[in-house]
Amino acid sequence: MDPDIARNRLLDAAEELFYGRGVQAVGMDELRSASGVSLKRLYQLFPSKADLVEAYLRRRDTRWRQSLAAYVSERTGPRPRVLAVFDWLHDWFAGPGFRGCAFINSFGELGAVSPAVAAAAREHKDAFHRYLAELAADAGGPPELAGQLALLAEGAITTAAISGSPEAARRARSTAETLLQLAQPKGNPV
């Protein structure tokens, strides 16, 4: 089997199984079976489960952030772009198989013992925060607005995962709207 095809099959299987059941609950033999990749090829591509977990998180980060950015970019105006983040979150929460944040989940399982998982989670959260900072600055908000929006989004992700309801995104969006209004100088609505 071509190494690129095998790698993609393994990452697809890892994403489905790790996200759906947790990293520690899934063994390499199960990943081999789900991907259809031989155990020999699996270990050629990913010498350890830790290598596969890191690759899964890196790919998920890229896909997650690209999907969010594409959705937000369809909106016109800085304030609607900020609020679109929470609309996108709602759609994600309402989708099939939503289990919360893969990075928080993986960090909770392995962050204390895997520097690579901890780094991938931190890098994902830092990149998301930087993205929110760009959106907040474009909307004329002060620098601290990005941190407030990030806390709203992270809280919504966790709440939606635990409650099984996407409505946390709607509540977070409403709060983000209030923060945007408060952040605007008098007479300068965005």
According to the model, what pLDDT value does residue 111 have? Answer: 87
C-alpha span between 66 and 128 (Å, rounded):
11
C-alpha span between 64 and 68 (Å, rounded):
6
Q: For the CA atoms of the chain, what is the radius of gyration?
A: 19
According to the model, what pLDDT value does residue 120 have? Answer: 96
Q: What is the pTM of this model?
A: 0.92
Distances (CA, A) of 151 to 70, 73, 86, 131, 157: 22, 22, 12, 13, 10
- Domains, the chain, ranges and CATH? 1-47 (1.10.10.60), 50-183 (1.10.357.10)
C-alpha span between 9 and 36 (Å, rounded):
8
The region, left, alpha or beta by phi > 0 then psi within -120 to 50, assigned to residue 187 is left
For each of the chain's 190 residues, which pLDDT tens digit applies?
Answer: 799 999 999 999 999 999 999 999 999 999 999 999 999 999 999 999 999 999 999 999 999 999 999 999 999 999 999 999 999 999 999 999 999 999 999 999 998 899 999 999 999 999 999 999 999 999 999 999 999 999 999 999 999 999 999 999 999 999 999 999 998 766 555 5
Residue found by looking up tokens 């991907």 in the block: 35
